[in-house]
Structure 1
Amino acid sequence: MSPTVPFVPDSAPFSPEQRAWLNGFFAGAFCRTPLDQSKIENPESKIPAAATPLTILWGSQTGTAESLAKQAAKTATSKGFTPTILDMAAASPADLAAHENVLVITSTYGEGEPPDNAKALYDAVLADGAPALPGSLRYSVCALGDTNYEAFCQCGKAFDEAFAKLGATRIAERVDCDVDYDEPFATWLEQALTTLQKSEVGSKKNEVTSAATSTSDFKLQTSDLDAAYGRARPFPAPVLTVRNLNGAGSAKEVNHVEFSLTGSGLTYEAGDALSVIPHNCPELVAGVLQALGCDGEEAVTTANGELPLRTALTTCFDLGKPTKTLLELLQLPASDTTLDVLDALHAACPAAIENLKSQIQNPDFLRKLAPRLYSISSSPKAHADQVHLTVGAVRYDHGGRPRKGVCSTFLAERALAAGTAHVFVHSNKAFRPPADPTAPMIMVGPGTGIAPFRAFLQEREATAAAGRNWLFFGDQHAASDYLYQDQIAAWQKTGLLHRVDTAFSRDQAEKIYVQDRMREAGAELWQWLEDGAHFYVCGDAKRMAKDVDLALHDIIATHGQKTAEQAAAYVNALKAAKRYGRDVY
């Protein structure tokens, strides 16, 4: 009987590197079986092979890829591998050349950009003259993304192509995962590990001692017990409060939302995010039913069993961007630019609609309604058994009808009346307040980007942390868009907030943004960095975060009297020291 391989849990008091080493040691030790002394003199007997080394390389912006890397390591260990989980920030092409078996798990954010921890390796392997990788390096890539973005899974695609171009051997085709990644990830992991096992048999002419594998062996594991609440079983959290934070005349609608976690067993830390399972807008569902010519009572098959079509369209299926399969069924081009399923139905001919209607009992041409991720704006040390969000409601008109953000307007309009919303916690260990309570902290969070910094400040207040705190906040108008103004003013009065710089872009003729305020205070900001400050930014990745990063480089170059190259090296050192954190989307 094969021995059970122990695995050091994430909660154990070890660093990630220490856990990886210990897990590898246990795998190697426990995957060997004692020699049968009666067979020592038998030349035909075979000694079980040592556990196969495996490197799991991850790039993550919000923690999903890192979490999947840990799940992959657990599965790989049970299959006779010695896994090492490697942060891309700690890897270089030269380092990779020494590895034989590599699984790459990486997300993409913004407009096809690599995660912050993957940026240096990404640039290195894509650079002209990048060092070659040996053919003995066997690899496969799992790319994470969101098909609502044009550059879907671009980072993973780029790594896959670069590794092959540099000479490494692809042993399993890359999988490009949408937001509902469980099944494609499990299938990819099964194929990759099975192929690696066969490669080991072929290259070492030895037997690999592992149990027979099947898809069920590779199901995505979670840290939750079957009976516990988590990603596999979201908690129906009572909705306590939905409060508009904007004043009269604002062009925006930002809501403060509070949930109760009492009885859930869910825990979180400042810097984490909350996943919310939304419901589709009833008006949109009614429009889809009308376009299909259905009454909504038709029985359809879903992951939650058989449901009436109206209920399924409300709670189970994504009515946003149509899938390629749906476009094909509706005889529309794959390049169709319709924004949602209702647009596609309106664009289709009657015959195509009838064809689709005939297949409605099993609507696998629709994507599963995925959870939406929001930065948590509370600290559990300040609000026991509660979790708060700061959510901007998305509303606009297009093509002659109003459009709504799926989850933001669910929370704004219907969650409080519904009484509960299904949620689970998404850990983001790369985005935390300084572990040193005396370290200074600089936070740049315009608009809803204020959310995690409200949590950070609550944390520091609750723990009486002595470090100085500096907040940059911006929005359109001070009179109507200064989110949490009263609380910020109170923190200034008590001394928790040592400095606040605001940028209200439309209160004067010339627009002013947070990066402009940073430059104005450049000399002091540089001194805070030299004093050991941690620098954080949260918000829009496409414009704001890039502009803030550019301003940071300029401030370091100007006030630190450095060249552009030296300023870049300084910023990279901040990142390596975990003193530059970004929660961007």
Structure 2
Amino acid sequence: MSSFIQIPEDAPFSAEQRVWLGQFLSNLLANAAAGATASAPAGPAVPVTILWGSQTGNSEGLAKKLVKSLKKGNFEPEVFDMGAYDKARLPQEKNLLIITSTYGDGEPPDNAAELYNWILSDAAPRVEGVQFSVLALGDTNYPDFCKCGIDFDVRLEQLGGKRLFKRIDSDVDYDGPFKEWSDGIIGLLAPAGAVTSNGAAATVEQADTGYSKKNPFPSPILTNYNLNGPGDKQTNHLALSLEGSGLSYEVGDALGVFPKNPPSVVDEILAALPFNTKVSVPLPDGGEASLRDALISNYDIGTLNKSLIQKWQARSGSPFLRSLVQADDKKAWDDFCWGRDLIDLVIDHPADFTDAEDFVAVLKKLQPRLYSIASSPNAHPGEVHLCVGIVRYESSGRKRGGICSTFLADRAEGVKPGVFVHVNKAFRLPANGDTPVIMVGPGTGIAPFRAFLEERKVSGAKGGNWLFFGNPHSKTDYLYADELTAFEKDGTLQKLDLAWSRDQKEKVYVQNLMVQQGAELWKWFQDGAAFYVCGDASRMAKDVDAALHTIAEQHGGLSKEDSAAWVAQLKKDKRYLRDVY
């Protein structure tokens, strides 16, 4: 085996990158010396434990992708759902890799919550012998970017763990950060010979085939209409064709939709820019297009975040932006970013860009939006249905709207939106059709439960179905009223509780009806019911969770501590599943 190659300190790399590169080159030379005909890697296999925390399946998918890569080398990988991991193992781990997302207000994913709370508590053990590294998934449009992963990383170091490779915080486009992280880890851990025959670390994945997020299917819109009655509120039901796509889905999955920005806003931005805009620019994924087309289809112009404003301020003479960046106050960031778009920076805080390429370099890639699928593939072969709340509002003197929702409502006629299926194994119906199901889905949270009910009917599932639905007004906001009534009549839906928050003086929400029906709900739980929640994470989902604790205390006779343990056990047993955003 070759000696370790030292990379000069004045080389243009960080310390960690120099270590990785030195190890990689050492391994490469050792592999060449051993010859391509070596039958097996030398030395004992390297143990690696991978823990994933995931709300929608991204972290789980990356964990499994990493396992495939590790199995190509001289590693012994084990992968665990954080909710199923034996905490007693932690101090004995050799190489611990954590992949976790963050959702809501900086919260851990549901399956990670118990481990997260334990490891941050005084009960957590010392882990001096553990090497660790964290890949944190997040979204820079949210203030608590990657908080869950950051907390794991900081706490493991506090407990005496040794950071194997730097933590990487990934925005929503995580393929590049994942590759950097996994390559870095394999480069540091790989014994000589544990590389592929072409000398590259064993992280090569097969190219995507067929339609996917990287190659979305252009889906014709078959149906597109407003489910609400007269008034300002608009919720569209869409049916899209999947014929010829080869795409398939299960109830509980989501559909990714690639939106387009409003051309009128793009034209206003172009008119205000101080350089030649009739040019081509590079696109985020390669290739190039005219600046106008790129701003419509490829770059995010609909959200502001801290990172963008910092880059903008560096090119702007705006005293306000300078003070905002220097103060670095969370509330000030939130207040400024809310209800503002890129157009506000262009008009109110002009910046000095050298040209169009310099301008798009500060922008993020326009990301697809995920919508819970509102149909069963067995009830609607060749189609996928969505229930989309159309977001419209006015702020800072401008009429604005959600980029994707207004695209689907106002700008999608004659257009075939690019779509892909996002698998969500964490939100599945019980395998046993005899299991009772309780569903809580106010507003557009009804979407997956329309799919659940269609699937339960088609499959002949005999377990009871109970739905809690709510919205402001019964006359105008009763989404899928005819279908739910029909499900009641044919026996698919045994119980339907409706919360109309604005139809009476006192506001009534789904969580209020849950507490009112507490005795019956407790009985369903004792009969093995699975409990599902879909909708707003920051308020509704928390209130529904609190209602569960109340029901356990009032009707199960449990203490606060025991009710919390009961709810935690429901999650661990996959009987309490959430699709929240």
Structure-1-length-normalised TM-score: 0.86
Contact 2:529-2:575 within 8 A present in 1 as well:
yes
Number of the residue aligned with 1:488: 484
Does structure 2 retain, via aligned residues, the 8 Å contact 1:298–1:361? no
Change (3 A) 1:216 1:316: farther
Inter-partner Cα distance in structure 1 for 2:150 and 2:58? 17
> Which structure ranks higher in relative contact order (CA pairs < 8 Å, sequence separation ≥ 6)?
2
Contact 2:73 2:202 in 1 (8 A): no
Which residue number in structure 1 is paired with residue 251 of structure 2?
270
Alpha-carbon RMSD across the aligned residues, in angstroms, is: 2.2
Separation (CA, whole Å) in 1 of partners of 2:268 and 2:201: 39
Distance 2:255 2:361 in 1: 27
Residues 216/296 of structure 1: CA separation in 2 closer, same or farther (3 Å cut)? farther
Q: Is the 8 A contact 1:536 1:581 kept in 2?
A: yes
Distance in 2 (CA, whole Å) between partners of 1:505 and 1:233 is 42
Aligned 8 A contact 2:72 2:202 in 1: no
5+ residue gaps, structure 1, are 1-34, 40-45, 202-206
Residue 60 in structure 1 maps to residue 54 in structure 2: yes
Distance 1:261 1:465 in 2: 26
- SS of equivalent residue, structure 2 residue 468: strand
Counterparts of 2:112 and 2:473, CA distance in 1? 37
> Which one of 508, 532, 535 corresponds to residue 536 of structure 1?
532
1:211, distance to aligned residue in structure 2 (A) = 3.0
2:264 alignment counterpart: 283
Give CA-to-partner distance per residue, 1:406-440, whole Å, 9 cap, x none. Answer: 1111111112332x000111111110111110110
Q: Distance in 1 between matches of 2:41 and 2:89?
A: 31
Q: 1:178 aligns with which of 163, 171, 183?
A: 171
Is the contact between residue 108 and residue 144 of structure 1 (CA under 8 Å) also seen in structure 2?
yes
Q: How far apart are residue 99 of structure 1 and its match?
A: 1.4
2:311 equivalent to 1:325 = yes
Q: How does 1:459-538 map to 2 (within 5 A)?
A: 459-538=455-534
Write the deviation string for residues 293-344 of structure 1: whole angstroms up to 9, x where unpaired: 4675311111351211100000010112152323423354335634321111
- Larger deviation, residues 400-409 vs 337-346: 337-346
Q: Distance in 2 between matches of 1:47 and 1:382?
A: 51
The answer to whether the aligner puts 1:554 opposite 2:550 as a matched pair is: yes
Matching of residues 48-197 of structure 1 within 5 Å: 48-134=42-128, 136-197=129-190
> Which residue of structure 2 lines up, in the alignment, with residue 446 of structure 1?
442
Residue type of the alignment partner of 2:341:
D
Q: SS at 1:525's partner residue?
A: helix
Contact 2:291–2:356, Cα closer than 8 Å, also in 1: no
Is 1:242–1:416's contact at 8 Å kept on the other side of the alignment?
Answer: no
The residue aligned with 1:344 is 345
Secondary structure at 1:266 match in 2: coil
8 Å contact 1:241–1:416 — kept in the other structure?
A: no
Are 1:367 and 2:364 an aligned pair? yes
Tell me which amino acid in the other structure corresponds to 1:145: G
Q: Measured at CA, do residues 369 and 487 of structure 1 come closer, stay the same or move farther in structure 2, by a change above 3 Å?
A: same
5+ long unaligned stretches in structure 2: 1-33
Whole-Å Cα distance in 2 between the matches of residues 231 and 67 of structure 1? 13
Deviation at 1:210, TM superposition (A): 2.0
Contact 1:556–1:562 (Cα < 8 Å) also in 2: yes
Other structure's SS at 1:61 match = coil
The equivalent of 2:282 in structure 1 is: 301
Contact 1:327 1:344 in 2 (8 A): no
Quick check: 1:139–1:169 contact (8 Å CA) kept in 2? yes
Shifted more, 359-368 versus 304-313: the winner is 359-368
Provide the C-alpha distance between the structure 1 equivalents of 2:422 and 2:74, rounded to a whole number of angstroms: 29
Contact 2:436-2:464 within 8 A present in 1 as well: yes
- Counterpart among 392, 404, 413 of residue 395 in structure 1: 392
Cα distance in 2 for partners of 1:212, 1:475 equals 60
Structure 1 counterpart of 2:25:
none
Find out whether 1:582 has 2:578 as its counterpart. yes
In the TM superposition, residue 562 of structure 1 has moved relative to its aligned partner by 0.9
Matched letter for residue 325 of structure 1: K
Q: Can you list the C-alpha shifts for 1:423-467, whole angstroms capped at 9, x where unaligned?
A: 111111110111110110000000000000001001001101111
Letter in 2 for 1:301: P
Residue 176 of structure 2 aligns with an amino acid whose one-letter code is E
- Give 2:135's aligned amino acid: C
Q: Give the TM-score taking structure 2 as reference length.
A: 0.87
Q: Deviations over 1:198-228 (max 9, x none)?
A: xxx5xxxxx4432378889646x47xx5441
Alpha-carbon distance in structure 2 between the residues aligned to 1:522 and 1:415: 44
Change (3 A) 1:168 1:568: same
1:407 aligns with 2:404: yes
Rounded Cα–Cα distance in structure 2 between residues aligned with 1:517 and 1:296 = 56
> Residue 94 of structure 1 contacts residue 131 of structure 1 at CA under 8 Å; is this kept in 2?
no
2:497 partner SS: strand
Q: Which moved more, 1:323-332 or 1:449-458?
A: 323-332
Aligned match of 2:219 in 216, 237, 245? 237
C-alpha deviation, 1:192, in angstroms:
1.8
